[in-house]
Amino acid sequence: MRILKLRCKFCGYWNRVPVNKILVEQDSPEPKVKVMIPMYEPLETSKCEKCGKIITESKESNQDYEKRGKIIGKREDLIFTT
DSSP track, the chain? -EEEEEE-TTT--EEEEEEEEEEEEE--SSTT--EEEEEEEESS-EE-TTT--EEE--HHHHHHHHHHT-----GGG--EE-
Asked whether residue 7 is domain-assigned, the answer is yes
Which structural domain range is residue 52 located in?
2-72
pLDDT digits (tens, 9 = 90+) for 29-80: 898 898 888 888 999 999 999 999 999 888 765 555 444 444 344 444 444 4
Looking at the structure of the chain, the number of domains it has is: 1
Does some domain include residue 80?
Answer: no
Please indicate, yes or no, if residue 17 is contained in any of the structural domains: yes
For residue 82, tell me if it sits in a domain: no
Q: What are the pLDDT digits (tens) for 11-20?
A: 999 999 999 9
